[in-house]
Structure 1
Amino acid sequence: MAKQSTRFIFSSLLCICFLAFAKPGFAAKEKFDVWLANVKTEALAKGISQPTIDAAFANVKILERVVALDRKQPETVETFQQYMKKRLPKSLVDTGKARLNENREVLEEVGRKYGVQPRFIVALWGVETRFGKYTGGFSVIDALTTLAYDNRRAAYFRKELFLALQILEEKHIAAADMKGSWAGAMGQSQFMPSSFVNFAEDHDEDGRTDIWTTKADVFASAANYLSKSGWKGDQTWGREVTLPEGFDVSLVSLKVSKPMQDWQDLGVRKASGQNLPSRQLKGSLVQPKGGNGQTFLVYNNYRTILKWNRSTYFAMSVGQLADLIGDG
């Protein structure tokens, strides 16, 4: 009995040691080569050709850096004001104005087609990738393969991986040039493969939808995303407002939507103290976390930006950058 107990304790210690030194996220997975063989078989069944599969996975590798970044979910330690000051420096605004003027013809053409004001297209471009300067240097196939093999969000990233293969199959880009973020967001508009398939546009009609290097495609793809997500081309995103003393804070919520006059009657005013606009748009009050009570009255288009990225800070930065860029 004592020997059995000793063996049990020894075996348990070995198991604990193994788990302690196993790579995070992969301990419960089948061997990578077996897993990858199954992925290739499924890709063939989905209509992806053997040459595309061979090219995509020729030098595929697990990226430990991607796993680490996926595990890291940092708490926001910056206040809203600190975030906005860092993300919207004067240099970004000036560059945004210049980029709008440089690309005005195609931006206005895209704006008319999709019903999205050019300043918002440029603002998204600026916030996402600094106007194409920072698009990510990860192999999209390697990143998605890593995250699909990992056990945290495997089902989601497996679907994205197959869609990335579909993009390669359609020859929009070569596998070696398919670069993006650690999470697989691609090009100057930072589209996941699913967003590419659903919204990317070949605006210059050259037979390839190129969100990596062709600005016309980048702009049209972003505008199409917004348009299909509910954008209103005759509305802005929102504005900063002030609340009267004793205001019912339970009304500060995206779940509460009221016409402009109702907010006016409740004492809400523009940041300048002036009356709210007379146009009866429906809006909701938002106070960004860490914003020290700074309040915004936001409209339909703010909610649409949130469909692109469900971050209050992100949506606010896009809206305010668009305001600062204006008409260039």
Structure 2
Amino acid sequence: MLKISTKLGSLVVAVAMAMPISSATAAKKEFGLWLEELKAEAQSNGISKPILDTAFRNVKFKEKIITLDRKQPEVTQTFQQYMAKRLPKSLVDMGKARLHKHKAVLDEVSRIYGVQPRFIVALWGVETRFGKYTGGFNVVEALTTLAYDDRRADYFRKELMIALRILEDRHIKPGDMKGSWAGAMGQAQFMPSSFVNFAVDHDKDGRRDIWTTKPDVFASAANYLSKSGWRGDQTWGREVKLPANFDKNLISLKIQKPMQEWQDLGVRKVNGTDLPSRQLVGSLVQPKGGNGQTFLVYNNYRTILKWNYSTYFAMSVGQLADKLVSP
């Protein structure tokens, strides 16, 4: 401990100063002050003190979450690596079994929302391995950490406020609000804003439960797709082959052409046969890191991108949906 004496007129003041505090301690103090201001804002927006006290109990800034935010799979994995990891045979087999097991409720949901059961199950499988891996993060803590970080602070702050409203409305208890490191919740992996806009109380028990109630999970996923532009009479796309010297400028979601035009340009199914005769409008996509693999994708692919704007993700959902109904 150092003592520094300073003369102020005739007065000598002894000032005791501790050694410099660590940057981590300083950051923690700053986070604490920021958090108190955030809680005050939430309370002014109608979130009750009991909910705030429970939701923020033991909440801390988690560096692990920031690290995960910086390591997105499309940055660290090739397309083939991603697909091999996300769509093993075991997942396909589990998906087929669940498509059969939940056929009655899936068919009912499909009739209401116009989304084929195989796509509902595929989303369920890709997101959480059919509810097995929903994420063990405290959603409030995850969103608080990301709201404090600079990268997308405004977005995650809004999501955090919505999450608190979901707790206030008693759809889930604070201790049970678990999800991914990014704050995506339950078996459908909805962000709080998606929950508010699309979650459905299919079993009519007064709660929109995307954590444990499968009918609510299925209906919520189907409602999301339906309201986002899904077409129940179409598939998502297919892998194709391009002719030699094909104009690579045509490989873009910004370019859409009916099937016959792609056929005339030499595009064929991956086995070399003609494209389907139905004149769906499609675009050519080559996933980054995919070694030239090319897909002709339709409206429903674009709709899946509204769920998660990731080429890898949308491809995995589409391909799993195909595998679920293949021999």
The alignment's TM-score, normalised by the length of structure 1, stands at: 0.88
| 2:23 partner amino acid | A
What residue ranges of structure 1 are gaps of 5+ in the alignment? 1-17
1:138-184 per-position Cα deviation (integer Å, ceiling 9, x unaligned):
11111111222223322111111110000001100000000011111
CA change 1:77–1:153 in 2 (3 A) is closer
How far 1:30 moved relative to its partner? 7.2
Bigger mean CA deviation after superposition, 44-53 or 119-128: 44-53
Q: Distance in 2 between matches of 1:120 and 1:166?
A: 30
Q: Distance in 2 between matches of 1:319 and 1:137?
A: 27
User: Match of 1:308?
Assistant: 307
Q: Is residue 55 from structure 1 mapped to residue 54 from structure 2 by the alignment?
A: yes
1:275-296 per-position Cα deviation (integer Å, ceiling 9, x unaligned):
1111111000111122222211
SS for the counterpart of 1:31 is helix
Q: Distance in 2 between matches of 1:316 and 1:150?
A: 30
8 A Cα contact 1:79 1:291, kept in partner:
yes
8 A Cα contact 1:129 1:188, kept in partner:
yes
SS for the counterpart of 1:241 is strand
User: Match of 1:13?
Assistant: none
| 2:100 partner amino acid | N
CA change 1:325–1:312 in 2 (3 A) is same
User: Match of 2:171?
Assistant: 172
Bigger mean CA deviation after superposition, 77-86 or 167-176: 77-86
How far 1:211 moved relative to its partner? 0.6
Q: Distance in 1 between matches of 2:81 and 2:57?
A: 44
1:107-142 per-position Cα deviation (integer Å, ceiling 9, x unaligned):
111111111000000001101110011111111111
Q: Distance in 1 between matches of 2:280 and 2:179?
A: 38
Q: Distance in 2 between matches of 1:325 and 1:198?
A: 28
1:1-328 equivalences under 5 Å are: 22-23=23-24, 31-73=30-72, 76-326=75-325
- Count, aligned residues: 308
How far 1:33 moved relative to its partner? 3.2
Q: Distance in 2 between matches of 1:73 and 1:86?
A: 15
| 1:22 partner amino acid | S
Bigger mean CA deviation after superposition, 54-63 or 316-325: 54-63
8 A Cα contact 2:73 2:82, kept in partner:
no
How far 1:65 moved relative to its partner? 1.7
8 A Cα contact 1:185 1:193, kept in partner:
yes
Question: Which structure is higher in strand share?
Answer: 2
User: Match of 1:11?
Assistant: none
1:219-267 per-position Cα deviation (integer Å, ceiling 9, x unaligned):
1111111111111111000011111112111111111100011111111
| 1:120 partner amino acid | F
How far 1:82 moved relative to its partner? 2.9
How far 1:269 moved relative to its partner? 1.1
Q: Distance in 1 between matches of 2:269 and 2:23?
A: 56
SS for the counterpart of 2:220 is helix
How far 1:268 moved relative to its partner? 1.0
SS for the counterpart of 1:296 is strand
CA change 1:284–1:154 in 2 (3 A) is same
Q: Distance in 2 between matches of 1:327 and 1:173?
A: 37
Percent of counterpart pairs with the same letter? 74
SS for the counterpart of 2:53 is helix
What residue ranges of structure 2 are gaps of 5+ in the alignment? 1-19
Q: Distance in 2 between matches of 1:145 and 1:237?
A: 36
How far 1:71 moved relative to its partner? 3.7
The alignment's TM-score, normalised by the length of structure 2, stands at: 0.89
| 1:87 partner amino acid | R
How far 1:307 moved relative to its partner? 1.1
| 2:176 partner amino acid | D
CA change 1:238–1:143 in 2 (3 A) is same
8 A Cα contact 1:232 1:300, kept in partner:
yes
